[in-house]
A and B are shown apart, each in its own frame.
Chain A
Amino acid sequence: MIRFEHIVKRLAGRNVLDDLSFEIHPGEIFVIVGPSGTGKSVTLKHMVQLLRPTSGTVWVGKESISTAEGQALERLRGRFGYLFQGGALLGWLTVAQNVALPLQQKTSLDEAEIARRVQEALEMVDLWHAAEQYPAEISGGMQKRAGLARAIVQRPEIVLYDEPTSGLDPVTARTIDRLIQHLNRDLGVTSVVVTHDMQGALTIGHRVAMLHGGRFVEVAAPAAFAASRCPEVQQFLEAQHITRENFFRK
Chain B
Amino acid sequence: MITREPFEYPDSAGYFQRLYLATQEGLAEVGRAVLLGVRALRELPDLRRPKARAEFLRQLYICGIESLPVITVVALFTGMILAFQTGIELRRYNQEVYIGSAVMVSMLREMAPFITGLILGACVGSAMAAQLGTMKVNDEIAALEIMSINPVRFLVTPRLAAMMVMTPILSFYTCMLGSLGGAVIGMTQLNVPWEQYMSAGLEFARPKDLFVGLFKALVYGIIITTVSCNEGLTTTQGAVGVGEATRRAVIISFLLVLVVGYFVTRFFY
Contact = CB atoms under 8 A, between A and B. Distances in A.
Interface of A: 10-13, 45, 48, 50-51, 74, 77-78, 80-82, 84-86, 88-90, 92, 101-102, 104-106, 147, 150, 154
Contacts, number: 55
A51 B2 CA distance: 11
Contacts of A81: 146
Contacts of A85: 139
A11 B5 contact: yes
Contact of B3 (A50, A101, A150): A50
B145 interface: yes
B8 interface: yes
B149 A101 contact: yes
Interface of B: 3, 5-6, 8, 11, 51, 58, 135, 138-140, 142-143, 145-149, 154
The 9 A-B residue pairs with the shortest CB-CB distance in the complex, in nearest-first order: A88-B143, A88-B139, A102-B147, A84-B139, A74-B148, A82-B146, A88-B140, A105-B149, A50-B142
B57 to A, nearest CB: 13
A106 B147 contact: yes
Given A51-B3, A104-B51, A77 B154 contact: no
B8 A77 contact: no
Contacts of B145: 50, 77
Given A77-B146, A90-B135, A101-B147, 5 more contacts: A13-B11, A50-B3, A51-B5, A88-B138, A105-B147
B3 A80 contact: no
A95 to B, nearest CB: 14
Contacts of B149: 101-102, 105-106
Contact of A86 (B5, B8, B51, B138): B138
B23 to A, nearest CB: 22
B140 A90 contact: yes
Nearest to B6: A12
Contacts of A45: 142
A88 B142 contact: yes
